[in-house]
Structure 1
Amino acid sequence: MFKVTPNPPDTDSPDTDPASPYESLDSKKLNEAAERALDFYLNPAAIMNNTPRKPSTLYMVAPDVDQEALLVQTCENLASASVMASDIAAMVEGPHRNTLLALQQVIMLGELAVNRMLDNFVPPK
């Protein structure tokens, strides 16, 4: 009786290497993606060293704005945040109220520091 045997695979091509864990090009991409994911969660230093940080330009302070204007804007923003936190704390009871009041106090302390900086600010000549 004659038994049909399949031809052995062509080992000259890297895609058909019998020792390769990749069955196709797609499985290579999947394996690379899995390696990146594992590095991201288990070895974040490898990711950080390989990719330089590029800051986002979506929200950017114009480089020609002077320091006094930035301090004034920061002071106004902190004052608004303080009022908002105080208003929300007035609507809440219990430990959440205490947390909001503590947050409002931290914002107010930041506002005081920025006000002191504005008081001592000497514009460049």
Structure 2
Amino acid sequence: MKQTVPNPANISNGLPENSIGLSNPSKVAEQMVSVPLRNTARPEPASHFFAVVPDVDTESMLCHASETLASLSVMATDLARELEGPRRHVILAIQQLSALSELLVNRALDNLHPPVGLSEK
């Protein structure tokens, strides 16, 4: 079996040259601050691929959110029918959370435009 031996030229005080030593906190802080904040070689996370058009009105966004949550609830219910045991309980919990979220979004829609025929208090 071949062993890798460190190059003595790259070692000072027992630490590799590019390691951060804890003996000098100001040097550690300087190295941490000088790290680039954005790595341009790394691709952006998937959440940066999707965006909402800036001038979309609140009612439209809430309507789409409500429909999306209703679809999620139906998909989770269908999946729960195929599962048993702990996995079924997890998917049913996800279904409940999506149903509760849909109720909240629908209430927000009602608050924007109360249904016709209801008197305001």
Q: TM-score range by the shorter chain?
A: 0.5 to 0.7
Structure number with larger C-alpha Rg: 1
Does residue 1:77 correspond to 2:86, yes or no?
no
| Corresponding residue of 1:21 | 10
Q: Which runs of 4+ in 1 moved over 6 A?
A: none
> What is the Cα-based RMSD across aligned positions, in Å?
3.1
Does residue 1:99 correspond to 2:90, yes or no?
yes
CA separation in 1, counterparts of 2:48 and 2:84? 40
Does residue 1:118 correspond to 2:109, yes or no?
yes
Deviations 1:47-101 (A, max 9, x none): 7x8526x996521100011111000000000000000000000111111111111
Give the 3-state SS of the residue equivalent to 1:99 in structure 2: helix
One-letter code of the match for 1:121? L
Q: Which runs of 5+ in 2 are unaligned?
A: 1-8, 12-16, 21-28, 39-43, 114-121
CA separation in 2, counterparts of 1:117 and 1:50? 42
CA separation in 2, counterparts of 1:57 and 1:94? 36
CA separation in 2, counterparts of 1:117 and 1:85? 23
Does residue 1:51 correspond to 2:40, yes or no?
no
Q: 1:95 to 1:21 in 2, by over 3 A?
A: closer
- Greater RCO (Cα-Cα under 8 Å, separation 6 or more): 2
The aligned length equals 83
Q: Alignment identity in percent?
A: 45
| Corresponding residue of 2:100 | 109
Q: TM-score, normalised by structure 1?
A: 0.55
Q: TM-score, normalised by structure 2?
A: 0.57
